[in-house]
Structure 1
Amino acid sequence: MSLLKNVGTIGGLTAVSRVFGFVRDILVARVLGATPMGDAWQLAFMLPNIFRRLFAEGAFASAFVPLFNRRMVEGQSEAQRFAESVLSVLLPILIVFGGLAMVAMPWVVAYFAPEGLESDPEALPIAVMMARITFPYLLFMSLATLVAAVLNSLSRFAAAAAAPILLNLCLIVALIYGASLGEGVMARRESAFWQSVALSLSGLLQLVWLAFWMHRAGFRIRMVLPRISPGVKELGVLIVPAVFGAGIYQISRFVDLFFLSTLEVGSYTYLAMADRWNQLPLGIIGIALGTAILPALSRYLSRAENEEAQRLQSNAIELAMLLTVPAAAALFVSGSAFTRVFFAGGAFSLEDAIITGTVVSGLVIGLPAYVLIKVLTPNFFARKDTRTPVYTAAFSLVVTVGLNIALVPRLGVLALAVAGSIGAWCNVALLYVILAKRGFFRLPARIAGRIARIFVAALVMGVVLWFLMQPLDPWFGGTTLQRTGGIAAVTLTGAAVYGIAAILLGVLDRATIARLMRRQT
């Protein structure tokens, strides 16, 4: 299957999940709002997800996939034994860690809770209870990541890409029930409680869903007694640096939590709601590209097909920029329009929506960089080099923390978005320079010129949208019909202007589409 088709499969299903995610966040804004209980829910949601990304998604998958693919060449039975031995060690680690985390949860929540939450004698114990209820999600999703890695290695991308839909459906059902409880503090507390239950339940459902499709693919992982096999040792050697690399990113998330705890109530919610708009293109494009190219890069490099690996990497970068640069430009200019139209209402005021829109603008400055990191790091992982991304991420973290210290007192929650974006661009620059110096990858001049034209086309679109925002401004806070018309005008105008500019500048042509559609082997 071609890169474009693989990304289309993963990205399309991710887009469906993101649509449900938007419905979820709209309901969260209306039911919980930027209130102490809204911040408590965001903290309870973030904690297991931070550790999930640390133990599972990035670190585990990046180390597991190349080793699993190598064993698949030797035969499926060998790959099955490897997966079983990994599961036998992973499961006890997750159980022990989860138990310790639940014991320590009162201190963890108290440390990261916003100042307004600590002043409420009822809110803090409820936040601790919610965090404990959500923490089994880490166990379920870490196991689900193992199954998803097997499916992706078998080029069965659809099931794993569709799994997050179950998360959003569970949370939406809980939120609809919460909305039926009415308004007030007690109603928000009960709603947040059932969201916590729904989160852990969604993790279990995703694990069952992925296990079903792995079984359909003819692959089974049995439960065996824990054993440190040679394969597990090899995985450990690769995964430790990857965990530190993911850990550096998650440390930056904890740094964000620390700074958020010093800001006014609502800051957790502002950042979480703004990140939804950043995660839409990042999830659909960046994660889809990274997931799609890692198995293919591993196969090319194992067969010493370096030219094919270079081609795949170039195509991935071009496709990433073709899609994310215009998205970033549009959201930078019109982010507040989207947050006002979709989030304002109920417990989420117009002022909350405007602040969130400002944070969106800060986040999307780094959107192309976040996607490029997802695209460039597989080149290291496919070569079993999980250390270099650690060093580049560490440098990025130092830059981000330094900027946070300097900017948060002046800019508040916006500073966290801007600092993270600048740090991401520093990470991209280091990754590319290292790849080039080692002779692993250099961006062809032809592709670099095309990317420059992509930026020009996005700039033209951004200027047009900037002039359009002022006359449409009253529509974004008006009636439902006016809001719909305003967003439709922004979206259609942006798409039309970018499309025309891209064609006139030679960004889009038949040769480009044919190259991206070329089949991977």
Structure 2
Amino acid sequence: MSLVKKFATVGSGTMLSRLFGFAREMMMAAALGTGPVAEAFYAAFQFPNTFRRLFAEGAFNAAFVPLFAREIEAGGVAGAKKFSEEVFGVLFSILLVLTIAMELAMPFVIRYGIAPGFAEDPAKLLLTVELAAIMFPYLICMSLGAMMAGMLNSLHRYFAAAIAPVFLNIILVGILVVAWYGGYDGREVGWALGWGVLTAGIVQLAIVFFAVRRAGVSIGFRRPRLTKNVRRLLWLALPAAITGGITQINTLVGTAIASGLPGAVPSLNLADRVYQLPLGVVGVAVGVVLLPELARALRAGNNIEAANLQNRSVEFTLFLTLPAAAALLTMAEPIVRVLYERGAFTPQDTALVAQVLSIFGVGLPAFVLVKAFTPGYFAREDTRTPMMFAAVSVAVNISTALWLFPTMGAPGIATAAAVAGWVNSGLLLGVLIARGHWSGDAGLLRRTPRLLVACALMAGAIHLAVTWLEPQFAPQSPIYVQASALAAVVVGAMVIYFGAAFGLGGADLGMIRRNVRRKGDASAAPADPD
């Protein structure tokens, strides 16, 4: 199975989740706008979601996957099953204690950590605490689910883990539809969404649990013990969790700072939803697939294949991410207007969210490159170095956000996140090169500037098209006119970019077919039949 096909398998599931996520955000924007209930829900959901990224996706995709893959090679499925059961027992116990402690401390944590700016509005603060208490057990489901997703990825079964997150957005969209036709008020919508998040966590866990059983590994509960393998996992997981969740750490910091300005928290979240589409489809797919592939190549002593995997992953990342960044930078306002401007969401909200989105676009390539560079460390079981860079990134983000927020508001927080992302990606690449773990091949070095030229041509064309179609994008234009105009610009931009990229030699189909297909594919595990 080629690397591109694996990227496509994970990316398609992520794409489906993001599309349903758009539907969810569009309906929430219409129902709640950027008002106090929206602020409370986004702040409350950010809390368990951050822990999920820190202690689940970040830690287990970075630390668990290489160790699980090593157990498969050393002891077969039986050895991997024993290791996974040992980890399951310890992980479940830690999560249970953490959840109980956080539920008891929730009022304090929200008041002084997550949303200190809500203190001036007791009703909004109370609603945030209530929603966070409902949603926090989601962490248990998603952390155990992330462990099982890591097992599936190591077994070359990517589909179930990629499709499970879709159900969060399906369930929340269903709740919003019921709320719309049932005439729920804002507070009732918030409560229903909170219970929907918890329900979705249970559904997602069930999907990957049965997928693991179907893959031939049934997990039983063992009394939690700190065995040698578990200690090794925990030693690797702590820095990996911080590193893998760096975007969420910065988002959490931004949420806490933004809580001091009404409307800033939902504005950041709505913009985040848009740029998360390319970040999720490209960045998450590259990170999930590259780590086990790179770890396998390094264990086999195949440094040539490892170098090829890294270079092709970055090339794939830039090929799809650079045009997305250019589009967000040049047409953010039409995108936001078509997606969100209806119901309680006003033209003033559109202007603010569009400004935030265009700034996030500047940081998008950096956010995705971090996903492509960190497997170069994790596959070598080095999780401490990326953790240090993540700490630097957080420090840059906090200091820049505190500096810019008083004068710029929400766009200042977006600027801080973009700057921190570029600092983090630059440090990761620089040390990989210094250690001799990265060598850019001639193809990557030759094609990158040509992709930049193709993006510049596309951005210029988008600017002209948006200016020409300004009457169609006006707030008073019917939604179908706005959507048609946006679709025309997007299609035209794609034609120009891909035409220029292939015409200038920034991309080549033959190169992709030759270099992405793994040399040892014939002996690799079969693809996921799902």
Shorter chain as denominator, the TM-score bin is over 0.9
Matched, 1:220 2:218: yes
| Deviation of 1:473 (Å) | 2.4
> How far off its partner does 1:354 sit?
1.8
State the partner residue of 1:411: 408
Partner of 2:304: 307
Residue 438 of structure 1, aligned match among 435, 439, 461: 435
Distance verdict in 2 for CA 1:88–1:520, change over 3 Å: farther
Once the 2 structures are TM-superposed, how far is the Cα of residue 517 of structure 1 from its aligned partner?
4.0
Q: How much has 1:446 moved relative to structure 2?
A: 2.7
Please show how residues 323-402 of structure 1 align to structure 2 within 5 Å.
323-402=320-399
Q: How many residues align?
A: 517
SS in 1 for 2:220: coil
- The answer to whether the Cα contact below 8 Å between 1:36 and 1:116 also exists between their aligned partners in 2 is no
Which residue is 1:449 aligned to? 446
Q: Distance in 1 between matches of 2:446 and 2:23?
A: 39
Alpha-carbon distance, 1:202 to partner: 0.2
CA RMSD of aligned residues (A): 1.6
1:442-490 CA distances to partner (integer Å, 9 max, x unpaired)?
2123312201111110111001111111222232331122112111121
Identity, % of aligned positions: 39
What are the ranges of 5 or more consecutive residues in structure 1 without an aligned counterpart? none
- Write the distance in 1 (CA, Å) between the matches of 2:241 and 2:288: 18
Q: Could you list the per-position Cα deviations for residues 115-145 of structure 1 after superposition, in whole angstroms to 9, with x for gaps in the alignment?
A: 8854444332222111100111111100100
Question: Which is further off, 439-448 or 376-385?
Answer: 439-448
Cα deviations by residue, 1:346-396 (Å, 9 ceiling, x for unpaired): 111121122111100010111111111001100100000001101111222
Cα distance, 1:410–1:313 mapped onto 2, change above 3 Å:
same
* 1:244-303, Cα deviation, whole Å (9 max, x unpaired): 43466554333212211222x111110000001110000000000111111111111001
Farther-moved stretch of structure 1 (367-376 vs 401-410) = 401-410
Kept after mapping to 2: 8 A contact 1:249/1:393: no
| CA 181–353 in structure 1, closer or farther in 2 if over 3 Å, else same | farther
- CA distance in 1: counterparts of 2:35 and 2:224, whole angstroms: 45
Relative distance call for 1:452 and 1:357 in structure 2 (3 A) is: same
Shift of 1:93: 0.6
Which of 510-519 and 380-389 deviates more?
Answer: 510-519
- The match for 2:505 is 506
1:424 aligned to 412, 421, 425, which one?
421
With 125-134 and 89-98 compared, the bigger mean Cα shift is at 125-134
With the length of structure 1 as denominator, give the TM-score of the two structures: 0.96
Match of residue 78 from structure 2: 77
Indicate the SS of the match to 2:54.
Answer: helix
Q: Distance in 2 between matches of 1:29 and 1:445?
A: 47
Question: Could you tell me how far 1:50 is from its partner in structure 2?
Answer: 0.6
Asked whether 1:68 is paired with 2:68, we answer: yes
Pick one of 238, 242, 245 that aligns with 2:243.
Answer: 245
Aligned residue for 2:51? 51
Kept in 2, the 8 Å contact 1:80–1:221? The answer is yes
2:295 is the counterpart of 1:294? no
Q: What amino acid maps onto 2:412 in structure 1?
A: A
Counterpart for residue 528 of structure 2: none
> What is the rounded CA distance, in whole Å, between the counterparts of 1:101 and 1:115 in structure 2?
17
8 Å CA contact 2:46–2:252 kept in 1: the answer is no
**Alignment partner, residue 230 of structure 2:** 232
Which amino acid is the alignment partner of residue 30 of structure 1? A
Whether the 8 Å contact between 1:2 and 1:520 is mirrored in structure 2 is: no
* Structure 2 residue runs without a partner (length 5+): 521-530
| In structure 2, distance between residues paired with 1:409 and 1:125 | 26
What is residue 123 of structure 1 aligned with on the other side?
124
In structure 1, distance between residues paired with 2:68 and 2:233: 10
Distance across 1 between alignment mates of 2:174 and 2:519: 40
2:194 is aligned to: 196
Distance in structure 1 (CA, Å) of the matches to 2:12 and 2:515: 17
Whether the 8 Å contact between 1:320 and 1:371 is mirrored in structure 2 is yes
Q: Any idea what the Cα deviations from partners look like across 1:136-159, whole Å, max 9, x if unmatched?
A: 111110010011010000010010
What is the TM-score with the length of structure 2 in the denominator? 0.95
| Counterpart contact for 2:50–2:245, Cα < 8 Å | no
Q: How far did 1:27 drift?
A: 0.6
| 1:22 partner amino acid | F
**SS where residue 122 of structure 1 aligns?**
helix
Contact 1:112 1:257 (8 Å CA) reproduced: no
Is the Cα contact below 8 Å between 1:178 and 1:188 reproduced in 2?
no
**In structure 2, do the counterparts of structure 1 residues 51 and 115 end up closer, same or farther at CA, with 3 Å as the change threshold?**
closer
Distance change (3 Å), C-alpha of 1:439 and 1:340:
same
2:117 and 2:259 in contact (8 A); partners too: no
Whether the 8 Å contact between 1:58 and 1:242 is mirrored in structure 2 is yes
Q: For each residue in 1:100-125, what CA deviation from the matched residue of structure 2 results, as whole angstroms up to 9, or x when unmatched? A: 11111112222357688544443322
2:527 corresponds in structure 1 to none
Q: Which amino acid aligns with 1:52?
A: R
Kept in 2, the 8 Å contact 1:245–1:390? The answer is yes
Q: Which amino acid in 2 is paired with 1:377?
A: T
* Preserved CA contact (<8 Å) 1:400 1:419: yes
| Alpha-carbon spacing, 1:250–1:11, altered in 2? closer, same or farther (3 Å) | closer
Q: Which of 471, 474, 483 lines up with 1:474 in the alignment?
A: 471
What letter matches 2:491 in structure 1? L
Out of 436, 439, 460, the residue aligned to residue 463 of structure 1 is 460
